[in-house]
Structure 1
């Protein structure tokens, strides 16, 4: 790739691309619905949802498996938590009941994927969400939902949906059905072009027209359990505030990486936790917006 459209993300660059500043009550900062989890992975939904609130979302709703909903509602008292049917193995069923359909239609941002564990059920759930989501609702496809999308690449074709994909390198390879090369700018562009939406790939953000924004300070410590859920949640929160997809993804990857850099001073390069990354996002954003 030539690099002509690549922008390195720095505090100065982000300040010249300011986030919307909603006025009024929590409704003005949007509603995020996180759809995910299983009997064994409720923490992914907690991390993503909390990160959305730390990034400034006004309202948080979480739809997860019925066996974990009560515990999750206690862990995140700020959220509306809904329990959904699950399989015998504790995976969320790929069903769209009236309650979930109402939540999807009422959300400004839907984040699907964190903590989901059955690719077939996830694929059915993703298709059901796409069938009922409003055209102006922002959609983030993450984690297992990306694997489901890779098996059903046509799901996003022809849909007027503001989508953001948040793959790691292995998920990106699955989406393109090949191993990725070293030029992640070029790979992010191909993903964005193939799926017709903004892609955040390991600190490289691309949109379908070939523009790329690159975050260059992220270190190995970000590769910790739950970190991807946190990053997706930050992007969801910024979308809820009114940021456009490429802007939300760019600000999100920068805040996520910067939080990790600060934690590395206290805990070493690989000693901090995803929940600590989440807690560090709000101070980073506050400094950038000051």
Structure 2
């Protein structure tokens, strides 16, 4: 077990920005999610991806939220998706999502969704698409994974799963209080993915890599939207071609350190997820 701290960051610097690159070369992130009840989640995820250095962001969300999201987020391209009877993403959107994947460098799937989305069908279609881009699965999409284990294991691109204890309990058929490093490693092996188990201590496990522990966060990070921000930071780094294990660890560290700063400046509790976003760029370290 390796501690995720400043020494780790010094030993694993991010690739430096290149002079003369354009926004496409800096990385393009496709974020898919949202619902009629959580229409703003992708705003947090998308901005976090840009704050992490990605050059372009495309948001695909339920049709009822698309226009408002686009007006609120002028830096993003926004696509409207069909909804099912519960106001969640419908299975019929898979073909469009797969097409948009060809125009991007990383996919973040799930922020703002619930278990009423047609998640299993969407994940299966994406996994069978032949795409090799990095894929991050978050929020309710994690609940569908036990139904599509074979498909997600067979997906040949890098994969990151970001469960909290309740979602990990679904993934591994265990109790939420059973969270530990060994469980994170077992989930990583089962799904052939990098797994970020989010809690007061956050474990990061990837098959074939030393596991990492971050235990310096603030309890204030346990707030609505915080996970959406974390997913976006990691997605932005993935689009910049940072390997999955390092992208996950850097995302967790930046997210946690931003929480520590806000705890000092605002209060241990009461800061908002959106207040993490402006702190992200200054916490990233380059060669």
Specify the SS of the correspondent of 1:204: strand
Query: How far 1:180 sits from its partner (Å)?
Result: 4.7
Contact 2:188 2:195 in 1 (8 A): yes
Question: Which residue of structure 2 aligns with residue 3 of structure 1?
Answer: none
Query: How far 1:114 sits from its partner (Å)?
Result: 0.5
Query: How far 1:161 sits from its partner (Å)?
Result: 2.2
TM-score (ref. length: structure 1):
0.92
Q: Once structures 1 and 2 are overlaid, which stretch shifts more, 56-65 or 82-91?
A: 82-91
| Match of residue 286, structure 2, among 274, 277, 289 | 289
Aligned equivalents of 1:280, 1:42: Cα separation in 2: 24
Matched, 1:11 2:11: no
Matched, 1:31 2:28: yes
Question: Which residue of structure 2 aligns with residue 149 of structure 1?
Answer: 145
Matched, 1:204 2:199: no
| Match of residue 98, structure 2, among 88, 97, 101 | 101
Aligned equivalents of 1:119, 1:68: Cα separation in 2: 17
Contact 1:22 1:28 in 2 (8 A): no
Aligned equivalents of 1:184, 1:25: Cα separation in 2: 42
Contact 1:21 1:241 in 2 (8 A): no
Query: How far 1:132 sits from its partner (Å)?
Result: 2.2
**CA, structure 1 residues 39+150, in 2 after alignment: closer, same or farther (shift >3 Å)?**
same
Aligned equivalents of 2:117, 2:59: Cα separation in 1: 21
Query: How far 1:183 sits from its partner (Å)?
Result: 5.8
| Match of residue 191, structure 1, among 179, 182, 187 | 187
The root-mean-square deviation of aligned C-alpha atoms, in Å, is: 1.7
TM-score (ref. length: structure 2):
0.93
**CA, structure 1 residues 192+119, in 2 after alignment: closer, same or farther (shift >3 Å)?**
farther
Q: Once structures 1 and 2 are overlaid, which stretch shifts more, 88-97 or 23-32?
A: 88-97
Query: Cα deviations across residues 177-234 of structure 1 (Å, max 9, x unaligned)?
Result: 1115556221111110111111111221111125211112112111100111111111
Aligned equivalents of 1:155, 1:171: Cα separation in 2: 19
Contact 2:91 2:119 in 1 (8 A): yes
Query: Cα deviations across residues 56-115 of structure 1 (Å, max 9, x unaligned)?
Result: 111100000111100001111111100011123311111236543321222210000101
Aligned equivalents of 1:62, 1:146: Cα separation in 2: 19
Contact 2:130 2:155 in 1 (8 A): no
Specify the SS of the correspondent of 1:289: coil
